[in-house]
Amino acid sequence: KLEALLWDVDGTLADTERDGHRVAFNRAFSDAGLDWHWDVALYGKLLSVTGGKERIRYYLDTFNQVWQRPVDLDAFIASLHKQKSQIYVELMAQGDIPLRPGVIRLINEAAATGIRLAIATTTTPANVDALLEQYFGSEGQQLFEVIAAGDVVANKKPAPDIYQWALERLGLPADDCVALEDSHNGLHAALSAGIPTVVITLNDYTVHEDFSGATLVVDQLGEPDAPCQVIQGGEKL
Ligand code: XBP
Ligand code: MG
- Angle ∠(225,96,50) on CA atoms, nearest 5: 95
Atom number of ligand 1 nearest to Cα 53: 18
151 is catalytic: no
For residue 224, the model assigns a pLDDT of: 86
CA of residue 235 to ligand 1 center, whole Å: 31
Which residues does residue 7 pair with via DSSP β-bridges, in sequence order? 119, 180
Rounded Cα distance, 92 and 20, in Å: 8
Q: Is 122 in the pocket of ligand 1 (CB under 6 A)?
A: yes
ipTM above 0.95, yes or no: no
Asked if residue 158 has a cis previous peptide bond (ω within 30° of 0), the answer is yes
Rounded Cα distance, 228 and 10, in Å: 20
> Of the bound ligands, which one is closest to the alpha carbon of residue 77?
1
CA of residue 1 to ligand 1 center, whole Å: 30
Which of 45, 55, 100 most suits a substitution to test ligand 1, by most atoms within 8 Å of the C-beta?
55
CA of residue 181 to ligand 2 center, whole Å: 6
Rounded Cα distance, 15 and 213, in Å: 24
CATH class for the domain made up of 4-15+98-233 = alpha beta
Q: Reading across the β-sheet that carries 4-7, which strands appear in turn?
A: 146-149, 116-121, 4-7, 177-181, 197-200, 216-218, 230-233
- Angle ∠(16,161,45) on CA atoms, nearest 5: 40
Rounded Cα distance, 69 and 78, in Å: 14
CATH of domain 17-93: 1.10.150.240
pTM of the predicted model as reported, rounded to 2 decimal places: 0.95
Q: Is 50 in the pocket of ligand 1 (CB under 6 A)?
A: yes
Q: Where are the domains of the chain?
A: 4-15+98-233, 17-93
Q: In this structure, which residue's CA is closest to atom 2 in ligand 1?
A: 50
8 is catalytic: yes
pLDDT along the chain (237 residues), means of 10: 97 97 98 98 97 98 97 98 98 96 95 97 97 94 95 97 98 98 98 98 93 96 89 72
For residue 236, the model assigns a pLDDT of: 53
